[in-house]
Amino acid sequence: MSDDAIKDTLRLMPYAFYSITSRHGDEVNAMVANWLTQVSFEPRQVVLGLQKTSLSHSLIVGSKVFTVNIFHKADVELMKPFTKGRAKNPEKMVSAQYTAAPITGCPILAGAAAYFECRVVNTVDSGGDHEIIVGEVVGAGVLKPGSVNDSVTLLDLGWSYAG
């Protein structure tokens, strides 16, 4: 525990761990994120909290599309190349293996258990360092059978991105 009760409390929230892929024109990117949740059944929508200064933010805002790649715990090592931003790992997409998603053209990363494609329907300035991206799910695919219990979480990695 620290002297910051809010930080300590926010770190108790469980988070999944995803790879968000984006494209705008010929440029593609992959990053990891955990601030993602479904917010509507009809239409099916998710919200993504995305740092305003990230490359992925500029690609997603520019193209109005993104894809969420879900990995199994057994394949977590396949996500790790995307944990560093382009500034620290400028060549990460050169060696990345992926195929283009059928609707959005965003990367579906090799080894992903499942993916879903989104079209941006709204962005909301949170007033903080992240922007809220609302995406309508327009396509999806299960590539490896499994259950929600197989999906990677921050808890599995012993990491925290909260507080």
- Kindly report, residue by residue over 23-38, the tens digit of the pLDDT: 999 999 999 999 999 9
Domains in the chain, ordered, with CATH?
A: 5-157 (2.30.110.10)
pLDDT band (50, 70, 90) for residue 162: low
pLDDT averaged over every residue in the chain? 93
Model pLDDT, residue 8: 86
Query: What are the b/e assignments for 26-36, b being 16+ CB within 10 Å?
Result: eebbbbbbbbb
Confidence band (pLDDT; 50, 70, 90) for 7? confident
Helix (H) or strand (E) holding 124: strand 114-125
pLDDT at 105: 98
pLDDT digits (tens, 9 = 90+) for 112-126: 999 999 999 999 999
What local confidence, expressed as pLDDT, does residue 85 receive?
Answer: 83
For residue 161, is pLDDT > 80? no
pTM: 0.93
Query: Which residues, 6+ apart, have CB-to-CB distance to 102 below 8 Å?
Result: 117, 139
User: Exposed, middle or buried, 38 (CB in 10 Å: 0-12/13-18/19+)?
Assistant: exposed
What's phi and psi for 93, nearest 5 deg? -85, -15
- Gap between the Cα atoms of 23 and 141, Å rounded: 19
